[in-house]
Amino acid sequence: MTLFDTRDREVAGHPQILIRRADLGRPADADALLLVIDAYARDPMGDGRPLTAETRACLIPALRQVPNAIIFLAVEPTVLARSGSSMSGPCGDPDTSVRAVGAAVCFVGFSTFRARGLINVHDLAVVPSWRGRGVGTLLLAAVEALARKRGYCKVNLEVRRDNPARQLYRRLGFGAAVSGAQAGSEPVQYLFLEKRLD
């Protein structure tokens, strides 16, 4: 498992939050991710309703089949103290649940204009009781660190116009995707559009 060390960062009064790559082959990590994503789905900035039983049953097996998926979990420090491990993050033995307080579900993409890889942050979710405490910042730092380590050209994400998380993204250097780098030209902003098929 990849570990992003946050000991030198303060998270709202906690000396550390561990950000690590999820192993969806471990039931504890799979369950933790489902809980975080379900909390996000219930939020008005998500879908405003819980995950369906069908989605809950299919999500982890489907994600495990996506070769370019990268998933980070933010693990609560009290869990790590009880387990006696700075790497695993489980409560007690490996078969018990992981107390994740956030997750970043990402996919590797490719920029044809830059001929290099990129990471698209598809979901950045923090459970409601941990919002505003720096967990999202740490998750995005882990994603950026991995992108830099791999030599990727950028990290993409999308956000609703009315989502308060936009302030976090701007503070961390995310801005509108633009084109028009030629001298004297006005930048053209891109919009994220969707067509739902369900």
Residue 146 CA to its chain's centroid (Å): 12
What is the count of structural domains for the chain? Answer: 1
Rg of the chain over all Cα atoms, to the nearest angstrom: 18
Residue 71 in domain: yes
13: left (phi over 0), alpha (psi -120 to 50) or beta: left
Outline where DSSP puts E strands in the chain: 3-4, 18-21, 69-75, 100-111, 116-126, 154-157, 178-179, 188-189
Residue 84 in domain: yes
Residue 195 in domain: no
Which domain range does residue 73 map to?
Answer: 3-189
Which tens digit of pLDDT belongs to each residue from 51-83? 999 999 999 999 999 999 999 999 986 544 444
Amino acid at 91: C
Which tens digit of pLDDT belongs to each residue from 105-134? 999 999 998 999 999 999 999 999 999 999
132: left (phi over 0), alpha (psi -120 to 50) or beta: left
